[in-house]
Amino acid sequence: MKTIILLTALILVTATLTVSAGDYTASFLYSLSDFSGTKPFSSARINQDLNKNEIYAMIGEAVSIFNSSGMEIYRFDYDSNIGIVSDVAVLGNGQLAVLASKGPLTRLVRCNFRAEPLGDIDIKGFPPDYSGFSPNRVYYSDSKLYLVSLSTMRVMIIDEDGLFIKGIDLAKELGMSEKEREDSGLGGFAIDRDGGFVFSIPATAKVYLLSPDGKTRVFGRRGSAPGRFGVATGVALDKNGNILVADKLRCVVMVFDRTNFAMLKEFGNRGFKPGNLIGPDDILVDRQNKVYVSSLRSRGISVYQLSSN
């Protein structure tokens, strides 16, 4: 069933919490909501439409779309023609690439903006070692789709018509054994502006930067002190290229300078007050330098404004 939520009038009453250190500031704005209040998501996945500056939140069998003010404007639920949706990417023409499963099969379905299926995006020309590839995240950048398997640590890059461009085995790039791959998996993944990748591995308590030419940089230490990682999950990049890392165990978001990996900011903290986080997981930064953080315990998706002077 598809539900359209029409916006007539809206007054957002939000609590504002500002956390600053030096020149970097993170101010809590609001939580993503509908007319009844905060959407009580638990560990939702987040993606975005860069052209419309709309946010997509995936949870269970439903996908909610929010405008730039944080209000739900559209929702689509389970459709037997599509299957169970795990992620959505918005293509350059406004159509949707929906990653969905029906039984054991994972499909990439092209839909219009109302999530009405237009047909499968069949992947063509991939090498034999990707024949069993089963992604659970999809991203769109620079006219390409990035299909990511968090558990196997593999990435497949295709064009909008499904033609295979490149495959990257992140575990092999890091020199990991198959046993290490099985015991690891990705906690978070993001695409850098130059086409490189930023990703976290909770098992190693580290964040990795992989450049397009294959060079790797790594940072992170396990611990409970500021700047240390308990369970590093979602990663994102702000408009200046600084690296944001969500820590599910410590219930904070940390911001690191990408040059020397010095910590610039830590915000969130465990709790149920506005601006607090419970088990933060997925994270995203939009073009307005607003950061969206998904939490557990029906805390929904918290939105903060980032700024630096």
Handedness of CA 216, 267, 287, 38 (dihedral sign): positive
Q: What is the pLDDT of residues 181-199, one digit of tens each?
A: 999 999 999 999 999 999 9
The residue with tokens 């630096």 is 308
What span, in angstroms and rounded, lies between the C-alpha atoms of 213 and 194? 10
- Tokens representing 304 are 């903060």
Coil, helix or strand at residue 255: strand
pLDDT at position 22 = 60
Count of CB atoms within 10 A of residue 220's CB?
20
> Minimal CA–CA distance to 66: which of 141, 5, 17?
5
H or E element that contains 302: strand 301-308
Q: Tell me which residues of the chain have a pLDDT lower than 70.
A: 1-22
- Tokens representing 11 are 């007054």
pLDDT at position 1 = 43
Contact between 254 and 266 under an 8 Å Cβ cutoff? The reply is yes
Q: What is the pLDDT of residues 225-253, one digit of tens each?
A: 999 999 999 999 999 999 999 999 999 99
pLDDT at position 93 = 94
Residue spans of the domains in the chain: they are 2-308
CATH fold of the domain at 2-308:
Neuraminidase (2.120.10)
pTM above 0.85, yes or no: yes
What span, in angstroms and rounded, lies between the C-alpha atoms of 297 and 36? 18
pLDDT at position 12 = 34
